[in-house]
Amino acid sequence: MEIGGQTESGANGGGGGGFRAARCWELLRWAAGVLRGKAVGLAGRLGRIARDEPRRVAHSVKVGLALTLVSVLYYVRPLFNSWGASTMWAVLTVVVVMEYTVGGTLCKGLNRASGTLVAGFIAVGAHKVAYMCGDKAEPVLLAIFVFLLSSAATFSRFIPEVKARYDYGVTIFILTFSLVAVSSYRVDELIRLAHRRFSTIAVGVATCLCTTIFVFPVWAGEGLHKLAIANLNKLAEFLEGIESECFRENATFENLEAKPFLQVYQSVLNSKATEDSLCNFAKWEPCHGKFKLRHPWSQYQKLGALCRECASSMEALSSYVVTLARTEYPEAHPELCSQQVRTACRQMSLHSAKALRELTAAMRTMTTVPSPASVHVSAAIKAAKGLRDGLSEGADLARAMHVAVIASLLSELVTKTKQITESVDVLARLARFRNPETTQTHKGVAIDVVS
């Protein structure tokens, strides 16, 4: 029995061990499956990001290339002997300066180089002045210089113009001046230290600039121009949707809230931060492509502000139309279904959309505002005036309240469309967009002369 018991116990123990091993194997397989799923999901997500914007892949390669190039300073012994441990400043410069756009890299690179240079000169001068005043007065004077200059530089960052374009440079100035001024009390070869630091930073900045300009450049100015075109397109899409879904004779107002055109203006409302950033970086960029020197980048901000005002009016109109749709619009407000009201509203929205489409085409080809755009704006203004006159002749204004609200909102959109047209016309004149009619005339004359 004991032998049998021992055998049975050993069998049970062996069975328990096998069960635990099988359990662990199942857990390992489950964990491997989870990790595999996570890896596949991450790879798919990265692939979608790369397909949506291939320039992001190019930017990643450029950063790796720039870091590899500045690493040569550390690997090649003659260069390392010239700069010593200061070569790491070139690597750090590439990491903090390299931006997605050419303008962003230029902005941060030139700010960093100029801030370091100016701070180095002032710090060396402060050290010389403090040194001449004796050993006891030297640390006191250095502390006073650090306090005064760092306080003044920090206060300058609150100036809007400095904040917008030179904030990073002021920060580097404060950092460099404080480091050099404080270390000058313990370091004997201060000028050599400052020279090494500035020269390695200059090498890092130069590497970033050459890489970002000559290897698959991404221009902030081009991005700002495309953003303006996209905003005009979205405004036109909203007006076309309003015309087809609300003011045509067969409009049913069914599932109106699910229509995508009612949300396209949202991205226009949220475009200010991107627009300001691109505009700031574009001002640092040299002439490139069709964008000449001293291109009127600030005019894009004025155009963007008008587009956002137009999008705000669209938001109000969208909310009101959706509210009417929830209250069974055709039955509850039969006066809005009249042919005269529908025709006027349709003309206002349709001509405004066509005008915006013409402006989009002009911006895309960088040509002057075509005459059809002005014609469509005039037609929209005429339709708005006719609708207002028709409302003023009505005897029962209470029943026409909804018509008056819609007419007012559409009239506001027509006014904003006119202002946008004028803004694009100003941009075309300041940027010297070509006139297609003049170009065609010149080509015709040339053909006649040859023939």
Residues 183 and 265 placed together within one structural domain of the fold: no
What is the C-alpha separation between 360 and 229, in angstroms, rounded?
6
The mean pLDDT of the chain is: 82
Residues 225 and 138 placed together within one structural domain of the fold: no
Residues 83 and 193 placed together within one structural domain of the fold: yes
Residues 204 and 265 placed together within one structural domain of the fold: no
What mean pLDDT is predicted for residues 153-178?
91
What the block records as the tokens of 259 is 């229509």
Residues 200 and 240 placed together within one structural domain of the fold: no
450 or 146, which is more confident?
A: 146
Residue found under tokens 């890092």: 204
What the block records as the tokens of 200 is 């390695």
DSSP letter at 369? P
- The angle, 0 to 180 degrees and rounded to 10, between the axes of the packed helices 371-392 and 401-430 is 160
Q: How many other C-beta atoms lie within 10 A of the C-beta of residue 201?
A: 25
User: Does residue 96 lie in a domain region?
Assistant: yes
User: Does residue 34 lie in a domain region?
Assistant: no
Residues 196 and 251 placed together within one structural domain of the fold: no
411 or 13, which is more confident?
A: 411
pLDDT over 70 percentage in the chain:
82
What mean pLDDT is predicted for residues 278-284?
93
pLDDT at 90 over 60: yes
Residues 139 and 178 placed together within one structural domain of the fold: yes
Give the number of domains in the chain.
2
Q: Buried b / exposed e across 13-44, counting CB within 10 Å, b at 16+?
A: eeeeeeeeeeeeeeeeeeeeeeeeeeeeeeee
Residue 324: CATH number of its domain: 1.20.58.220
What mean pLDDT is predicted for residues 326-333?
50
| Of 322, 339, 312, 303, nearest in space to 428 by CA | 303
pLDDT at 352 over 50: yes
User: Does residue 31 lie in a domain region?
Assistant: no
**Amino acid symbol at 79:** L
User: Does residue 160 lie in a domain region?
Assistant: yes
Please say which residue of 180, 214, 248 terminates a domain: 214
User: Does residue 353 lie in a domain region?
Assistant: yes
Condensed to tens digits (0 to 9), the pLDDT of residues 384-398 reads: 887 766 665 544 554
Residues 169 and 318 placed together within one structural domain of the fold: no
Condensed to tens digits (0 to 9), the pLDDT of residues 419-449 reads: 999 999 999 999 999 887 665 544 444 333 2
User: Does residue 21 lie in a domain region?
Assistant: no
Residues 78 and 206 placed together within one structural domain of the fold: yes
Contact 83, 196 (CB under 8 A): yes
What mean pLDDT is predicted for residues 371-393?
78
Instruction: Give the pLDDT score at 270.
Output: 92
**Report for 184-198, 325-339, 387-401: range of highest mean pLDDT:** 184-198
Give the 3-state DSSP-derived string for the chain, with helices as H, strands as E and coil as C.
CHHHHHHHHHHHHHHHHHHHHHHHHHHHHHHHHHHHHHHHHHHHHHHHHHHHCHHHHHHHHHHHHHHHHHHHHHHCHHHHHHHHHHHHHHHHHHHHHCCCCHHHHHHHHHHHHHHHHHHHHHHHHHHHHHHHCCCCHHHHHHHHHHHHHHHHHHHHCCCHHHHHHCHHHHHHHHHHHHHHHHHCCCCCCHHHHHHHHHHHHHHHHHHHHHHHHHCCCCCHHHHHHHHHHHHHHHHHHHHHHHHHHHCCCCCCCCCHHHCHHHCCHHHHHCCHHHHHHHHHHHCCCCCECCECCCCCHHHHHHHHHHHHHHHHHHHHHHHHHHHHHHCCHHHHCHHHHCHHHHHHHHHHHHHHHHHHHHHHHHHHHCECCCHHHHHHHHHHHHHHHHHHHHHHCCCCCCCCHHHHHHHHHHHHHHHHHHHHHHHHHHHHHHCCCECHHHHHHHHHHHHHHHC
Instruction: Give the pLDDT score at 134.
Output: 81
Please say which residue of 160, 184, 214 terminates a domain: 214
User: Does residue 166 lie in a domain region?
Assistant: yes
Instruction: Give the pLDDT score at 438.
Output: 63
Contact 280, 99 (CB under 8 A): no
159 or 406, which is more confident?
A: 159
Which of 51-60, 210-219, 281-290 has the lowest average pLDDT? Answer: 51-60
Phi, psi angles (nearest 5°) of residue 367 = -120, 165
Q: How many CA atoms lie within 13 A of 141 on its CB side?
A: 17
Instruction: Give the pLDDT score at 222.
Output: 94
State the pTM of this model: 0.82
Residues 89 and 152 placed together within one structural domain of the fold: yes
User: Does residue 178 lie in a domain region?
Assistant: yes
| Of 417, 424, 297, nearest in space to 363 by CA | 424
Please say which residue of 214, 249, 276 terminates a domain: 214
Range of the domain at 346: 220-450
Q: What kind and span of H or E run contains 445?
A: helix 436-450
Provide the pLDDT confidence category of residue 295 given band limits of 50, 70 and 90: very high
Residues 175 and 281 placed together within one structural domain of the fold: no
Instruction: Give the pLDDT score at 253.
Output: 62
Condensed to tens digits (0 to 9), the pLDDT of residues 97-124 reads: 999 999 999 999 999 999 989 998 898 8
Condensed to tens digits (0 to 9), the pLDDT of residues 199-226 reads: 888 999 999 999 999 999 999 999 999 9
What is the C-alpha separation between 178 and 166, in angstroms, rounded?
18
- The angle, 0 to 180 degrees and rounded to 10, between the axes of the packed helices 167-183 and 102-132 is 30
pLDDT at 85 over 60: yes
pLDDT at 10 over 60: no
191 or 71, which is more confident?
A: 71
Residues 236 and 195 placed together within one structural domain of the fold: no
